[in-house]
Amino acid sequence: MNFKNALKQVQKDCDIKMVNSGVFTGSWSKIEHKKKLDSFSPINGKKLGTIALATKKDYKQVIESAESSFKEWRKIPGPRRGEIIKEISDELLKYKESLGILVSLEVGKTISEGQGEVQEMIDIGYFATGLSRQIYGNTMASERKHHRMYEQYKPLGPIGVITSFNFPSAVWAWNSFIAAVVGDVTVWKPSSKAPLTAVATINIVNKVLKRNNLQPIFFLIVGRGRDIGDDFLNERRFPLISFTGSVKTGSKVGELVGKRQGKTLLELGGNNAAIVTENCDINNAVNGVAFGALATAGQRCTSTRRLILHKNIYDTFLEKMKKAYQSVRIGTPLDPNTLIGPLIDQQSVDNYLNAIKTAQNQGGKLVTGGKIKKIKDLENGFYVEPTIIEATKDMDIVKEETFAPILYVMKYKTIEEALTIHNNVPQGLSSAIFTNDIREEEYFLSEKGSDCGIANVNTSTAGAEIGGAFGGEKDTGGGRESGSDAWKIYAHRQTVTVNYGKDVPLAQGVKFDIEE
């Protein structure tokens, strides 16, 4: 696919202009006399468009609009809210190709991954539609005569959603579509590295609300952290802030929101490992590890960053991985034959190079890769060679997350040793084991096994389905998004007691009789 033609298609179908407003309050704010942010493609460094950034005044208007809309949206019955979200998913399906191409242009995902991102939005919308009829609460037995006790869930209010560049629209949908059927509205602050995808998404979803004569429930504010970031986090009208990003920034988010007794949903760093045992299906394991390590050029929070290999298959498996790494096609993600596209920017390239240098200084052995990849006609893109480094569990760099295609390989003798190595990092997002031995599988899944929020057997650390709750432990933040009962964080639980008797008995047999 030609870059120029792809950009024209996106501009036409997704209503992307050369200069776009970055603030949606129910309508797009004016762009004049505002600071601007340019979006450049990591594919070739070419400019995709410009965003007019939010001002303090814009921020105030967004919050006021969200508050007003919430008061109306919460009145709509849950199943009807679900029908609207289904219609939004249907609308996104119409734009799947163009919006997916925009994802590829703006963040460098391959064509299939860009389309997959939009499909993920569609799928979570359909999931939310079913959920809209299942916002259940428990009924409990009361110890008091003539009393009924149960719980119900009520919407929180406007929700602040801050997303990262690597999933520039899907993670927003995880939060916003689920929150919407619960009865909330959302204000989206996207990554400054992927603002056009956010603008296009808001264009599409709000068409459906307008068509149904409803107030907007999805708001957008693009602005630099130093201008509106702290205001966003300190905003008491946001009872919940959902944040996806680094551990460092996530810690600040948790601190600021916690000071005002707000709730946070934190999806932070991952340093995910795959354990490959001598009892594995080697070909399946190679494919699973390679996908986990190389998809999105290693820029997924679930990317496989550590490979823990049994000593008896170490040399054989490592040689297969080396061949796979050296044969994988790197280039423009607009080519359907490409498997690895660019990193997002020059800073990411620098981090990649620094991590490799640090690993070597700490005793790591470079197996393959380790250099910038020069590609004809894409000289201004950010391409690097996928890299494998033999490492030891004691190397400090192995405990850090580098958002790049770097895989550290370590050797183990026993499954107990493998899990010790596996768990000996600050992060706890995704994990995997490749084995056909049920004892090894069950040990991995036991209380002595993986300490991560996600555990996979004979499949990759990356590629989570929307039906399961997504999130991790330790420095990963403890948040849960998407499926299962993750919806509960967007609501407040209320315990209800109804006395339908003629007197007022107290719990635990307490007596409090007032003489008349």
Q: Which domain holds residue 451?
A: 272-466
Q: How far apart are CA 54 and CA 58, in angstroms?
A: 6
Average pLDDT over residues 287-304: 98
Q: What pLDDT digit, counting tens, does each position of 339-393 carry? A: 999 999 999 999 999 999 999 999 999 999 999 999 999 999 999 999 999 999 9
Q: What is the pLDDT of residue 103?
A: 98
Average pLDDT over residues 294-304: 97
CATH of the domain at 388: 3.40.309.10
User: Does 471 map to a domain?
Assistant: no
Residue 1's pLDDT band (cuts 50, 70, 90): confident
Closest CA to 72 of 108, 36, 26, 33: 26
Q: Specify whether 301 is catalytic.
A: yes
Q: What pLDDT digit, counting tens, does each position of 71-87 carry? A: 999 999 999 999 999 99
DSSP state of 330: B
Q: Is the pLDDT of residue 224 over 90?
A: no
Asked if 155 and 190 sit in the same domain, the reply is yes
Task: Indicate the length of the chain as a whole number.
Answer: 516
Q: What are phi and psi of 186, to 5 degrees?
A: -130, 145
Q: What is the pLDDT of residue 516?
A: 62
User: Does 91 map to a domain?
Assistant: yes
Asked if 371 and 235 sit in the same domain, the reply is no
Mean pLDDT, the chain, integer: 97
Q: Is the pLDDT of residue 495 over 90?
A: yes
User: Does 514 map to a domain?
Assistant: no
Asked if 42 and 84 sit in the same domain, the reply is yes
Average pLDDT over residues 14-32: 96
Asked if 151 and 97 sit in the same domain, the reply is yes
What is the percent of the chain where pLDDT is above 90? Answer: 97
Average pLDDT over residues 286-297: 98
Tell me, rounded to whole angstroms, the distance of Cα 219 from its chain centroid.
19
What spatial distance separates the first Cα and last Cα of the chain, rounded to whole Å?
A: 86
User: Does 502 map to a domain?
Assistant: no
Q: How far apart are CA 353 and CA 356, in angstroms?
A: 5
Q: Is the pLDDT of residue 261 over 90?
A: yes
Active-site residue, from 87, 120, 267, 390: 267
Q: How far apart are CA 209 and CA 243, in angstroms?
A: 25
User: Does 334 map to a domain?
Assistant: yes
Asked if 228 and 312 sit in the same domain, the reply is no
SS3 67: helix
Q: How far apart are CA 252 and CA 238, in angstroms?
A: 16
Asked if 287 and 386 sit in the same domain, the reply is yes
Q: Is the pLDDT of residue 225 over 90?
A: no
Q: Is the pLDDT of residue 515 over 80?
A: no
Active-site residue, from 106, 301, 400, 452: 301
Q: What is the pLDDT of residue 514?
A: 79
Q: Specify whether 151 is catalytic.
A: no
Locus of tokens 């958002």: 403
Q: How far apart are CA 184 and CA 153, in angstroms?
A: 12
For the entire predicted model, the pTM comes to: 0.96
Asked if 148 and 203 sit in the same domain, the reply is yes
Cβ atoms of 117 and 97 closer than 8 Å? no
User: Does 500 map to a domain?
Assistant: no
Asked if 306 and 402 sit in the same domain, the reply is yes
Asked if 402 and 344 sit in the same domain, the reply is yes
Residue 77, classified by CB atoms within 10 Å of its CB into exposed (0-12), middle (13-18) or buried (19+), is exposed
CATH of the domain at 233: 3.40.605.10
Number of domains in the chain: 2
Q: What pLDDT digit, counting tens, does each position of 72-127 carry? A: 999 999 999 999 999 999 999 999 999 999 999 999 999 999 999 999 999 999 99
Asked if 278 and 263 sit in the same domain, the reply is no
User: Does 121 map to a domain?
Assistant: yes
Asked if 219 and 105 sit in the same domain, the reply is yes
Q: What pLDDT digit, counting tens, does each position of 409-438 carry? A: 999 999 999 999 999 999 999 999 999 999
Q: Which residues contact 140 (CB under 8 A, 6 or more apart)?
A: 149, 150, 151
Asked if 449 and 481 sit in the same domain, the reply is no
User: Does 508 map to a domain?
Assistant: no
What is the percent of the chain where pLDDT is above 70? Answer: 100
Region at 139 (left for phi over 0; alpha for psi -120 to 50; beta for the rest): beta
